Structure 1
């Protein structure tokens, strides 16, 4: 994957802040037409899709185009189902699609089908193969680097001789490979990668099985840290360690700032997560989709371009992720309105929340 910046840092920030207006012709263009926008998310195994992305995208689309209709479906982790969903949406006359592919390669033919039908596709969070018209996500290499840097910090003085298990994402996902490369850019030559696994479907259950295999092969005392690509995988890793009788858990990374993960961080079970401000991502994708639905050029709102394996110079917006540990939950998540203290600090976590500085 090749990324080409079109503007400097200042332009990137400005582009994100003004995206919704720039992509939709400003307030004067809002509500002047009506069409249907298809929203296709990949699974329910990762909590963020249903709890954060779906409502945020739908809300922003309604703000930008009050007379537009949103048609929503979830693939339930099944690429074949998602192919049928795309075909159905095209048949029903959607004007533009926002797609998070369940399997980027498997969905290539469906993206081609949409292109032939004149229905532009905005790839959301995960890069899709085929002639997509735009891409909105976060810098995946930076996500991996943040995870790797946090893991080294947590491992402390023993990092340079420690053994790490890598729990990567689904092998069909470009993002999984992107995260892994970013993490390895930090970890290579610093730690020993004792085992590395791809986790089919990004599921907690498969991560649990992979981690159990790592524990059986290495022994729990020879695992000094785990680079888990997201919070669902971190949950599987931690449950496998507990099942093996490990009480002094090694540091475990994550991504997506799931509420369960934040609570695990408060309890000291998960060391960190990567917060990706979903509201900004949703706003950028909604703006690009409405612009495309109105026949406008997505390059007007893009801040960079990306080459996928099939398409060069895809107009893109890549946002900046943030590392979160127990020390900055309030600053990164509570102040940003992601969760309230009461949502995080359920009764059984009150003592831990006091220790973490979340409650007095």
Structure 2
């Protein structure tokens, strides 16, 4: 063990014990603490810090692809779960370093709060990949989908259905830069900026949503609908989970299917809502591609810790004018017209996508 790792182990002893403990009542990442994996003697150990492993996509899509890419490159995967706690995630990074992680992949619970831990990791010689969510450290590699483009696609799909009237905007977690990237995409597509209206569109309700919580999104939508006496023509929801809450609120008022709703991630239930007509669009970010790209980048960083030498990178300037090195993948908006794309890709079965759909109503459903 070199001096950097010896220091990391000394600093993280108590924290590692805490991070390895906890309850086991919910799903946990594969090889959660990774202690056995770290003893295999591999030359490249990649530590992954999940912010909240209970989200459907992380276990189903991201982790298997990430893990497979790491192992295909001769590396070893270890991980832990912060369970939506910024404090736990900070200790989890030290825990992963104490287990000999050569590279960290961090899905940030709070991109600002985790910055000191990320800076410390990089100072210790452990490169960091900011996975799917921005961490504004120019020494970290930012790897995600083009989230501004995702916002544009959401708004464009809704505006094709309804281009004027009263709109509600349900944004994600305020501590997640993606929420503001998506909102900027809305503006780019023609939605008024925060606090403003246009000649054709009035924003009758707009709010952030802690932890992208569907239940909170439903409550907020209910409140906005009440305040507007149900006179709402569209709802821009920044992701599919929250869109589920939005649609539930609309259903209670008899508005589901007549008010267009946006979302993103290609969640199974959301794609079914698209087929049923209660959700207009789910911008599909194939998490398998993202996981694979992160695994391959991590293997590259084991060989050469200079993020500038990772293949496929490009400059990215944040809203705060921080110059980052990034890999941004291209999303695909899924509507009833191209639902076959996700079915043909094996992302969802035709049976699940088309459950409850009237025969002949949607081409992809037969």
TM over 0.5: yes
User: Secondary structure of the residue that 1:355 maps to in structure 2?
Assistant: coil
**2:335 aligned residue:** 325
- Aligned match for 2:169, one of 166, 169, 173: 166
Q: How far is 1:108 from its partner? A: 0.9
Q: How far is 1:246 from its partner? A: 3.6
* Structural mapping, 1:266-281, within 5 Å: 266-281=275-290
- Aligned match for 1:339, one of 348, 351, 364: 348
Query: More deviation in 40-49 or 145-154?
Result: 40-49
Query: More deviation in 282-291 or 236-245?
Result: 236-245
Q: Distance in 1 between matches of 2:348 and 2:134?
A: 28
User: Bigger relative contact order, structure 1 or 2, given CA contacts below 8 A and separation 6+?
Assistant: 1
**1:3 aligned residue:** none
- Aligned match for 1:36, one of 45, 48, 56: 45
Give the number of equivalent residue pairs: 318
- Aligned match for 2:316, one of 286, 306, 310: 306
Query: More deviation in 118-127 or 287-296?
Result: 287-296
Say whether residues 1:227 and 2:231 are aligned partners. no
**1:104 aligned residue:** 111
Query: More deviation in 49-58 or 68-77?
Result: 68-77
1:33 and 1:294, CA in 2 relative to 1: closer, same or farther beyond 3 A? farther
User: Secondary structure of the residue that 1:270 maps to in structure 2?
Assistant: coil
Q: How far is 1:231 from its partner? A: 0.1
* Structural mapping, 1:214-293, within 5 Å: 214-220=224-230, 222-246=231-255, 249-293=258-302
Which consecutive unaligned segments of at least 5 residues does structure 1 have? 1-31
**2:5 aligned residue:** none
Q: Distance in 2 between matches of 1:130 and 1:287?
A: 21
User: Secondary structure of the residue that 2:358 maps to in structure 1?
Assistant: helix
What whole-Å deviation, never above 9, does each CA across 1:29-59 have from its counterpart, x for those lacking one? xxx9623111122224532122111111111
**1:29 aligned residue:** none
**1:194 aligned residue:** 204
Q: How far is 1:74 from its partner? A: 2.3
Q: Distance in 1 between matches of 2:227 and 2:166?
A: 13
1:312 and 1:185, CA in 2 relative to 1: closer, same or farther beyond 3 A? closer
**1:355 aligned residue:** 361
Q: Distance in 2 between matches of 1:353 and 1:60?
A: 40
Which consecutive unaligned segments of at least 5 residues does structure 2 have? 1-40, 193-197
Q: How far is 1:112 from its partner? A: 1.6
1:336 and 1:152, CA in 2 relative to 1: closer, same or farther beyond 3 A? same
Q: Distance in 2 between matches of 1:234 and 1:117?
A: 41
Check the 8 A contact 1:145/1:185 in 2, yes or no: yes
**1:15 aligned residue:** none
Q: Distance in 1 between matches of 2:323 and 2:222?
A: 42
Check the 8 A contact 1:111/1:129 in 2, yes or no: no
Q: Distance in 2 between matches of 1:79 and 1:353?
A: 47
Q: How far is 1:113 from its partner? A: 1.9
1:244 and 1:44, CA in 2 relative to 1: closer, same or farther beyond 3 A? farther
**2:63 aligned residue:** 54
Say whether residues 1:121 and 2:121 are aligned partners. no
Check the 8 A contact 1:128/1:308 in 2, yes or no: no
Q: Distance in 2 between matches of 1:246 and 1:218?
A: 13
Q: How far is 1:248 from its partner? A: 5.1
4+ long deviations beyond 6 Å: none
Higher helix share: 1
